Structure 1
Amino acid sequence: MLKKLHENKDLVREMNRQLMELQKIIENMDEKRGRIFIEWLETQNKYLVWEETFDPSYLRAYKRSEIVLAHFGFNVGAEFGGMHYAVVIRDSSKNNPVVNVVPLSSLDENETEQDVHKDSVFLGTIEGLNEKKAVAIPNQMRPISKIRIFKPKKAKDGVFKLTSEQMDLIDEKIRRMYTKLRKDPENRS
């Protein structure tokens, strides 16, 4: 049986030192950022507890093009964070504890397709989801634990999907950003 952390006095001492340091850092954050970080700590604490007994087979299988609502966390720098929709880019069986996603965002009312960053993909509206114009962010593509997914969780839950055309746009952007592959000879880029 593995020893618990509290049984190692040196680790407990270091943990307390780091927690005190973290508290100082949080206290010096601006209020909005501090609130977001504290909310993330609450979520992270839940994940640490859930992780002990997490069994992905109780969740649904996720299919390419399905949209999930997931918490990307509180991250450093320009890494994508917070609660956002994302599109599944590769099928993930019930037993797989992770799913590969591309985060989605939406344009503000006064923004147009021309305002979309060159590394993002304008998708237009997503049928049934909301009336907002959506954008995929392939440069933030990543695997996430299924623990991070808030919905859909079960096979009976409603699912929103991107169209084949929308997925093709994302695939093409990923191909251009991350590979040296040329388009198929009939559609040379």
Structure 2
Amino acid sequence: MSSSLKTTADKLCNKILEKFDAKVIDIFDSWLETWTTYLDQEAEFIAADLVQYNPGDIISVCLGFNVGSEQGGNRPAIVIGKNSRSNKTILVVPLGSFDKTKGLKKSEVLLGELAEFNQETGHTKGTESKVLLGQIRTISKQRIIKPKTRYHTKLNIGAEKLKLIEDELIKLIKS
């Protein structure tokens, strides 16, 4: 290991122990394990072995450990835009549960109840979902947890909800 890398790794380790509580340290440690797996598999990863992802598909992704208010962890996201099976990256926008007491931020879009999604994920019937437009990002398809094969359930929000997201995304970009 280069001395520069070792110095940086030591600084990072000390900063983590100094700044984070035990729960966050465990989350970060878990992310490092996942990231290491991604690095090990990267050279052999074949995106075309995954199912075809279409605009509006709901997928489960690992967004990792991020900075500030960036969404992280394992969470549902909606595929935005057309995507070739062989493309190793995909554009997604994370989903979240809507809390009526907090309302919506300017960068969020209410989708309402996604009944099939709620049933598939164990959410309570009537739970409403929102799209976190401000968190749109391109991710490696390695980060996709489900669906990966034709044996996994594939859900889609439909053309009407997808158009709502696309229209609001354009408004957000132009505002």
Q: TM-score, normalised by structure 2?
A: 0.89
Structure 2 residue 47 is matched with structure 1 residue 56: yes
Q: State the SS of the aligned residue for 1:129.
A: helix
1:149 aligned to 144, 147, 151, which one? 144
Aligned to 2:133: 138
Q: Distance in 2 between matches of 1:56 and 1:137?
A: 26
Q: Matches of 2:151 and 2:24 in 1, distance apart?
A: 36
Q: Bigger shift: 160-169 or 49-58? A: 160-169
Separation (CA, whole Å) in 1 of partners of 2:174 and 2:9: 42
Native 8 Å contact 1:120 1:139 kept in 2: yes
What's the offset of the Cα at 1:79? 1.3
Q: Looking at CA atoms only, which structure, 1 or 2, has the larger radius of gyration?
A: 1
Contact 1:64-1:90 within 8 A present in 2 as well:
yes
Corresponding letter in the other structure for 2:146: K
Q: TM-score normalized by structure 1?
A: 0.83
Question: In 2 relative to 1, CA 125–174 (structure 1 residues): closer, same or farther, beyond 3 Å?
Answer: same
User: Counterpart of 1:143 in structure 2: which amino acid?
Assistant: T
In structure 2, relative to structure 1, the CA distance for the partners of 1:149 and 1:175 (3 Å cut) is same
Q: What percent identity do the matched residue pairs reach?
A: 32
CA RMSD after TM alignment: 1.6
In structure 1, give the amino acid aligned to 2:162: M
Larger RCO of the pair (alpha carbons < 8 Å, separation 6+):
2
Match of 2:9 in 1: 19
| Rounded Cα–Cα distance in structure 2 between residues aligned with 1:155 and 1:87 | 18
Shift of the 93–156 alpha-carbon distance from structure 1 to 2, 3 Å rule, reads farther
Asked if 1:112 corresponds to 2:133, the answer is no
Question: In 1, distance between residues paired with 2:155 and 2:115?
Answer: 7
1:124 to 112, 125, 129: 112
Alignment of 1:155-166 (within 5 A): 155-166=150-161
